[in-house]
Structure 1
Amino acid sequence: MTKTYFILFLLTGFLLVDNQVALSQDTYFRGFYHGRNVFVRNPYIESEKQFCIQSIYLNGKKITDSPGRSAYELSMEDLPLDSRVVIRIVHHNTCKPELINPEVIQNDLKFSWLKLYVNEESIIWITTKEDKEGRYVIQRESAGEWETIDSTQAKGGIFINQHSKELDHNKGDNTYRVLYKDPQGEIMSSDEFNYFSDKSEISHVIDTDKWSIEFTEEVSFQLLNAGGRIIMRGKSVSCDIRKLPYASYIIRYEGKDYPFEKKK
């Protein structure tokens, strides 16, 4: 009798295991480790009152059993950078686990410039794999130095993004570039792009009655003190200098400097 019960116990155990295996399914995710952890979405099965995932394996090694939360961070910090990653997830066959951030194990996550060009109205650049926390800085060469003229936030994502910003060219040759600053502080520069603008040359006069600098048309300008520090900048047809103390200044626009003195 005892022997019979033992055999029945074994058979029942095998049936339970076989039934669990039949209800399980494997899903694989493959890629490369680029220094960031993967987050796994773990759906809750309402009808069974339990979570989807039964176990998670990383490169053949079991990491966890039945994580009891809707999102699980899979730490990969012990892996060498750029090493191959195989994630195996055993789960119930009525649900499907997903990677919340699958892009972090894509073959190539490195930011790259695809194209940059300039027309009479704007500068346009196309990139791929930018970080949404990154930032672009648009610069123009002026007197042998790079002057920042604008900036904008990156859009983010592993796909192609296009950006553009309006420009106010100087008459003649204009050389531009765009800098990409990633969240870690690394700076990547685009190729330089030269654009020749044949627009009419802008000039100015200083109205000493109103103490205003009047331009012949709207222009981007900078006002500097005698020490070369920028004290005012703008884009307009005039620059109000009534509140400035009597001293020597420089008005800069279209890549040129024009010294003047505000006298009593």
Structure 2
Amino acid sequence: MSFSPPINDTGDREGVIILEGKYQNRNIYVANPYPENGVGYCTYEVRVNGEIIPDEVHGKAFEIDLKQFKFKTGEKVVIEIKHKNGCAPKVLNPAGLKPKPTFNIESINLDSTGVLTWKTSNESGALDYIVQQFKWNKWVDVGQIAGIGNPQIHDYLFKVQLISGNNKFRVIQRNYEGKIKKSVSVTLESEIPKLTFVYNKRTKEVVFSLPTQFEVHDVYGRLMKRGYGDVVSVSNLEKAEYYLSYDNTTDICNLK
């Protein structure tokens, strides 16, 4: 949503709010206050893709009915809400033209080399797929790939880092309001040996037996470090106990 600069040669008809996006089978709802002079209402004209809508916009609230245009899902929509000087209508659902997660998972697979593949249908807009792995008693984001965003069948592939023991993965999409849609999870038992670590007091480094994704939290649960590798510099951390999450486990690491 964007606001135009004032247009000074149109008297009190100065502003325009522009919403751009893709049709998501939803209408747009607008709160429409009184102008400064108290005469009439703030909005005086609404256009959809350049066409003036026949709907009544002279009220405290109104609905922009997009169904009447017979748009296809994902079709581009530009809405112009023109309003008087000194006031501005409020779009009540500004994410109404933003894509929402609607994908269906046709299949999802994980092989022993760490290649995660999934097949989808029914996407209604381009949203990123976030690859998540279940470890450390939570779902952890481990990758991201752009979704294509139309209803056809699509194939995706992402290389993940396997851990020792049980591996569980899924993909999710988040919409612009923070809501998520999740796939089913897929699991694999790997033959990777269980990782270990040592703390080198001289170099102030934590050294893992193999490269791994890791997180370091203090005793209050605050995240201090996060990354991937086989060596973690902890020279900037105070001498204390920390929770070290790596591979498929969380251990106490004493930096005293």
Q: Same fold, TM exceeding 0.5?
A: yes
Select the structure that is richer in helix: 1
Amino acid at match of 2:26: G
> Which residue of structure 1 lines up, in the alignment, with residue 105 of structure 2?
113
| Backbone CA RMSD of aligned residues | 3.3
Who is 1:35 aligned against?
26
Cα 1:246/1:140, change in 2 over 3 Å: same
Q: 1:198, CA displacement in angstroms?
A: 0.7
Tell me how far apart the structure 2 counterparts of residues 180 and 200 of structure 1 sit (CA, whole Å): 32
The structure whose Rg is larger is 1
TM superposition shift of 1:157? 2.3
What is the percentage of aligned positions where both structures have the same residue? 17
Structure 2 residue identity aligned to 1:237: D
1:43-81 Cα distance to aligned partner (Å, 9 max, x none) = xxxxxxxxxxxxxxxxxxxxxxxxxxxx65586977697
- The answer to whether structure 1 residue 193 and structure 2 residue 219 are counterparts is no
Deviation at 1:130, TM superposition (A): 2.5
Q: Any residues of structure 2 matched to 1:1-264 within 5 Å, and which? A: 34-35=25-26, 72=50, 102-104=72-74, 110-119=102-111, 120-183=113-176, 185-263=178-256
Q: Report the number of matched residues.
A: 181
Q: Take 2:27 and 2:132, find their aligned partners in 1: how far apart are those partners?
A: 32
Q: Which amino acid aligns with 2:145?
A: T
Give the superposition deviation at 1:185.
Answer: 4.2
Partners of 2:52 and 2:192 lie apart in 1 by 58
User: What amino acid maps onto 1:165 in structure 2?
Assistant: F
Aligned partners of 1:80 and 1:239: how far apart in 2? 54
Distance 1:208 1:161, change over 3 A: same
Q: Which runs of 5+ in 2 are unaligned?
A: 1-23, 29-48, 56-62, 76-100
Unaligned runs of 5+ in 1: 1-32, 38-70, 88-100
Distance in 2, matches of 1:121 and 1:156, equals 25
Query: With CA pairs under 8 Å and 6+ residues apart, which has the higher RCO, 1 or 2?
Result: 2
1:190-221 Cα deviation digits (max 9, x unpaired): 11111111112221111110011111221111
Q: Which amino acid aligns with 1:225?
A: D
Residues in 1 aligned to 2:144 and 2:222: alpha-carbon distance in whole angstroms: 21
Q: With structure 2 as the length reference, what TM-score do the two structures score?
A: 0.59
Are the aligned partners of 2:134 and 2:169 in contact in 1 as well (CA < 8 Å)? yes
Alpha-carbon separation, structure 2, partners of 1:186 and 1:235 = 28
Match of 2:152, SS state, is strand
Q: What is the letter of the counterpart of residue 173 of structure 2?
A: Y
| Structure-2 residue corresponding to 1:16 | none
Runs of 4+ in 1 over 3 A off after TM superposition: 71-81, 101-105, 182-186
In 2 relative to 1, CA 74–112 (structure 1 residues): closer, same or farther, beyond 3 Å?
farther
Evaluate the alpha carbon distance shift between residue 154 and residue 166 of structure 1 in structure 2; reply closer, same or farther with a 3 A threshold: same
| Structure 1 counterpart of 2:253, one-letter code | F
| 8 A contact 1:248–1:260 mirrored in 2 | yes
